[in-house]
Amino acid sequence: MQKNTTQKILITGANGQLGSELADALAAKFGTDNIIITDISIPPNSVQKFKFEKLDVMDFDALVRLVKKYHISQIYHLAAILSAKGENNPKTAWKINMDGLLNVLEVARIFGLDKVFWPSSIAVFGPSSPKNLTPQHSITEPETNYGISKHAGELWCNYYFQKYGVDVRSLRYPGIIGYKSMPGGGTTDYAVEVFHKAVNNEPFICFLEKDMHLPMMFMPDAIKATLQLMDAKKENIKVRTSYNIQGMSFSPEALISEIKKYYPELLATYQPDFRQKIAESWPASIDDKVAKKEWNWKPDFTIKKMVKEMFVQLEIQKKELMKEGVL
Ligand code: AKB
C-alpha cells in the first residue's frame, strides 16, 4: 500500500494503552516521519522510532507551538484521566479531560486542521440508560466524573463541528484489551491484568464481581475502528458527538473460564471494590448499528479468538524477555 505522506499527525497521550499502538498503525499509513508523539512524560522505551515532544495538554501555547513547528494537519487527542483514577481527584480529572479537549478543538479551529480524533467512552451512559444493547441515542446521565467529562466533550465536539466546521470524529470505546501495554486507571483494566497473571503463574484478584458484564474490544478492532472512522467520507459521518461501537460483551467469570482453557491452573478470586459501582452504572452491551450503517463498522474478534491471540502474543513476549535476561 502506498503511504499518504501529505499529513502530519500529532498524538497526545501517546504513552497510553491506545496511543502506543495507534502510533504504529498511523505510521504504517502516513510514514514514521509524519507522526509526532507527545505525552506529559518521556516514553518508557529508550529507543524511540517517533519524534517525541513533552506536552501538557492543558498548556494551550505549548500545543500551538507544536502545531506550528511541525505543520500539523491532524490531531489524535488521547490524553485523559480514566474512570477509576478520575474518582480520586475529580477536579483535576475534569480539568485535564475538558481543558485538554477544548485546547485541541480551538487549535483545530484556528489553524484549520484537516481532522481531529477524540475518544469518548461507554462511560457517557449511566444507570438510567438501557442496560442491554444501549442505543446510539439514549439517555446519558453518567455518574462518574470521567463519564460527565466524556458526555460534555461529545457535545463540545458537535458544537465545534456545527459552528466552525471542525472535522472532529469520535468513538465511544468500550474496555480495550491489548498485549503490548497496560491500561492505567480504568474500570475495565481487570480484563488485561488477568492475562498477565495467567502467563506469569500468579494468582489473580478481580476487583469486579464475577458476573459483571461489560462491553469490551480487542485492540486490533479498536485500531481498525479508529482508522476506518477517520478514513470515512466526511458526508458519511452523521454523528458528530460520538459513535457507539461494540466488540464483545463478557463478565470476569466468562473471561476466566476461556483463559482456563489455556491456563487451567489460574487461581482467581473476587474482591470487588469501588470500581464495581462504576461498572454497575455502565451498559452490559452496546448497539452499534449506526456505525455499521454509516461507515461499515464490523469487529473481527470474538472472546475466543481474542483469548487465543492474546496468549500467542504474550508467550512470544515472554520468550523474548527471557532471552534478553529480563525475566
Ligand atoms: C475505563 O474503564 O475507564 C475505560 C473506558 C471504558 O472508558 N476503559
Categorize the per-residue pLDDT at 47 as very low, low, confident or very high, splitting at 50, 70 and 90.
Answer: low
Q: Round the average pLDDT of the chain to a whole number and report it.
A: 95
Q: Give pLDDT tens digits for 163-207.
A: 999 999 999 999 999 998 888 899 999 999 999 999 999 999 999
Which residues neighbour 106 within 8 Å (Cβ) at sequence distance 6 or greater? 60
Q: Which residue has the cell 510514514?
A: 31
CA 62–ligand 1 middle distance (angstroms): 28
Q: Is the CB of 187 under 6 A from ligand 1?
A: yes
- What pLDDT does 272 receive? 98
- What pLDDT does 43 receive? 86
Q: What percent of the chain has pLDDT over 70?
A: 98
- What pLDDT does 95 receive? 97
What's this model's pTM, rounded to 2 decimal places? Answer: 0.96
- What pLDDT does 4 receive? 74
Which residue from 97, 150, 188 has its CB within 8 A of the most atoms of ligand 1, so it is best to mutate? 188
Beta strands (DSSP E) in 72-183 are: 74-77, 115-121, 168-173, 175-177
Residue from 146, 160, 173, 179 carrying the catalytic annotation: 146
Q: Decide if domain 9-174+218-244 falls under CATH 3.40.50.720.
A: yes
Q: Calculate mean pLDDT across residues 148-176.
A: 98
Q: Give pLDDT tens digits for 85-122.
A: 999 999 999 999 999 999 999 999 999 999 999 999 99
- What pLDDT does 2 receive? 66
Q: How far apart are CA 160 and CA 18, in angstroms?
A: 24
Atom of ligand 1 minimally distant from the CA of 82 = 3
Q: Is 270 one of the catalytic residues?
A: no
CB hemisphere CA count around 95 (13 angstroms):
8
Q: Is the CB of 175 under 6 A from ligand 1?
A: yes
CA 51–ligand 1 middle distance (angstroms): 28
pLDDT of 46 higher than 60: no
Q: How far apart are CA 177 and CA 194, in angstroms?
A: 11
pLDDT of 21 higher than 90: yes
